[in-house]
Amino acid sequence: MAKSKNTLKWQFDISTYRLLGRELITDRITALFELVKNSYDANAEKVYVEFRNVNPISKDSKIIIRDDGTGMTLDDVEHKWMVIGSNSKRIKTHSPDPYNRRFVGKKGVGRFAVDKLGAKLVMTTKTKKSLQQVELTIDWYQYELKSQQLDLFPKPSIGNYFTDVENEYKIRSVKDETHGTTLEISRIRDIWTANDIKRVEKELAKIIHPSQKLNYPFNIFIIVDGGEAKQLESKAIQYATEEIFLEANIETRIQEKLKFREGELITIEAEIDEDIGPVQLELYYFDKNGKTQFSKNYKGEFLDGIRIYRDGLITTPFAEMANHPDKKRDILGIDKRRWSGFFDKVSSRDLLGFINISYENNPNIEDATNRQDFIDNEGYRKLKKFIIDQIYQLERYLSYKKEKGRVKLQKGFQQATKALDEVNKVLEKLEQSVDNEEVQSEITNLKEKTSSARKSISKGARDYEKVKKEKIRQENLFLSLMSLQDYALELAHLVRTALSRIIRLAEFFTTEFPNPGYDEYFKLYAKQIYEEMMKLDKAVDFMLSYAQSNSDFKEINIKTLIEHLFENIYKSIFEEEGIRATVEINEPLIIEHNQKFFEDIIENLISNSRKALKKTSNKVIKCTGFVEKEQFILLFSDNGHGITDDIKEKIFDIYFTTTPEQGGAGIGLFTVQKRIEALKGSIKVVENELKPTGATFKITLPFNQK
């Protein structure tokens, strides 16, 4: 009798749901993308994304995603939807008739995106021909609870694994031919402010390629608190300064590319790179006037670089939680190149572009499982190089045009000077040939004006040359420091006020100490002297950091820096104080400056919020970043005690504080304001985005202007 083999099977720990859900898909808008794409795969014509009571969060808060797709039977739910990494979409690659859509979800983990949005899911689904509706309930809290119990009392037994947990379902009889799937997500994890939902609308509108309309209907609608359904639309591109279209011919294996040659931007032909596959590229460049027109006519929209579409649908929209500057919307590394030659580089703020690929012809360009980047392989690296090279050729062309403009301007200066010299000669001849004193006086006036104009033009020409020579230095000066004189005045006032109080209190000690009858005064005045000294100490620290902030310039990715502060430096403090802190920054802004300079801004805002949250339950600090009209916007919010109208104008004043009992010295928000003004930005208190109480600071920072 043959001896049987000893075998072992893989098991999945109960905490697997987190690894596949909110720890894998770390951005909640990406999670919505995944769920909407599931509706696309289900042949849906309409998808409704509904937000109910999501600000503030309550037991009635829900996000509901409803479609009119093919729906599922109980067998589909059990053997396809409930199977992790199901291969059903890899075996059958297209949806059924009449649309035969190429499936965009193939990895079988996108459904776990629900866990990023809320802790409980009720899925209702039905096919057109079936008379039964399936209702499945998944309560992630039960998984969480069991996971915590096992952490405390580890014991191997049945039910300890992810696959052992039972999820309840119900079957209901339905007599109509309705069909589709509804995902009702409750126990919402995060607040969704009006600004958050606007960003959802902007991003979901991009899911369909704007210039390549699908051959079948697929429409997305947003509903907020029972309001009217708002259909999302992707608009055609207008007002571009330069438009570029590159094609690829699969039959002839020819790929079009850009080439700057002898003052012209031309299209050349090359062989299709087999690692990449054929690529179609639409590229729109906007100069300053073009961006102004675009912003004016596309309200709420902004230029955001190059997006990659596969078979008409967007691929990777985000890389929210990535630490590397290349990641996030600039995953192609467009903005990374800017500081090596700022004024000659095109940024994602100047471009709209669309890379069009397909599953069939570009198999090596694969989405990462978390949908926030692509798998780093030879094909993807070559694709990035291809895109950057096209931008580089465009930059060479734009630089050439700019230089031609400079030369033309210089010639204009020379021609104007020459013309004025000729006019002056003519006036001199006239002056000599005319005997009339009145006419001679007018000619003399004209000569003086001509001479003055010539001097102005010459000065303009010299100034223009100086500006050219200052080109590199201007990169650093863009983020110039605030005037030292302005701060010196404020510092002098602070020191004078503090020293005045310290001297007055010290005089009392000098004349009256020791005297048991004044012990209470001695204690009180000693405390006040200490507080004044601490104010001076903080002021000196600020002054020292100010003095140092003009040196050690380096590239700073604001998103990465803020996430580092929230997720590393302050994480333990937030946990200890029971603060739920979130960072949602969808747009990168890379500045060249002293890092400590910018850290002061965020650290002082965090400190301000922590004080405001002392007596608040369910504490929240939220930092949101996005681009609006060529400006980078940061919204920094908390749900603390808020700021009353009578002090809104005073809170940025030096020495003003509402929290002296918590050590407030009245320097924090003053520091924030001065730091931001030094970056050519502004800060103000706006309507609080967290309800019902709290404060929201709106920080506006400009992008580099060309």
Contact assessment for residue 284 and residue 352, using Cβ atoms and an 8 Å cutoff: yes
458-467, long-range: CB within 8 Å, 24+ apart, which pairs? 458/413, 458/417, 460/413, 461/410, 461/413, 461/414, 461/417, 464/409, 464/410, 464/413
Q: What is the mean pLDDT of residues 47-58?
A: 95
The correct answer on CATH 3.30.565.10 for the domain covering 17-231 is yes
Of 440 and 297, the structure prediction assigns the larger pLDDT to 297
Q: Region of 618 please: left (phi>0), alpha (psi -120 to 50) or beta.
A: left
Amino acid at 575: E
Query: Tens of pLDDT along 468-491?
Result: 655 534 443 433 343 344 445 555
Same fold, 17-231 and 242-402: no
* Three-class DSSP category at 206: helix
Within 10 Å of residue 143's Cβ, how many Cβ atoms?
A: 21
For the CA atoms of 448, 454, 457, 461, the dihedral, rounded to the nearest 10 degrees, stands at: -140
pLDDT for residue 6: 82
Taking the C-alpha atoms of residue 5 and residue 241, their distance in angstroms, rounded to an integer, is 71
**Is residue 19 predicted with pLDDT exceeding 80?**
no
pLDDT for residue 658: 55
Of 303 and 642, the structure prediction assigns the larger pLDDT to 642
Query: Tens of pLDDT along 322-354?
Result: 334 344 456 676 765 543 344 467 777 888 889
Q: What is the mean pLDDT of residues 153-166?
A: 63
The correct answer on CATH 3.30.70 for the domain covering 242-402 is no
**Is residue 62 predicted with pLDDT exceeding 90?**
yes
Question: For the whole prediction, is pTM greater than 0.85?
Answer: no
Q: Where are the domains of the chain?
A: 17-231, 242-402, 406-477, 484-702
Report the Cα 335 to chain-centroid distance in Å.
13
DSSP code at position 655:
T
Of 259 and 499, the structure prediction assigns the larger pLDDT to 259
Strands 305-310 and 351-357: parallel
Taking the C-alpha atoms of residue 110 and residue 638, their distance in angstroms, rounded to an integer, is 32
Within 10 Å of residue 63's Cβ, how many Cβ atoms?
A: 22
**CATH code of domain 484-702:** 3.30.565.10
Within 10 Å of residue 632's Cβ, how many Cβ atoms?
A: 22
**Is residue 271 predicted with pLDDT exceeding 90?**
yes
Distances (CA, A) of 556 to 336, 474, 597, 622: 11, 17, 11, 21
Of 87 and 351, the structure prediction assigns the larger pLDDT to 351
Residue 347 token pair: 């940024």
Average per-residue pLDDT for the chain? 79
Q: Percent of the chain scored above 90 by pLDDT?
A: 25
H/E stretch holding 381: helix 378-433
Query: Tens of pLDDT along 613-658?
Result: 988 888 999 999 888 877 888 999 999 988 888 777 777 765 555 5
Could you tell me how many helices (H) and strands (E) the chain has, helices first? Answer: 17, 23
Residue 695 token pair: 């404060």
Query: Tens of pLDDT along 91-132?
Result: 677 888 888 888 776 665 667 788 889 989 999 999 998 999
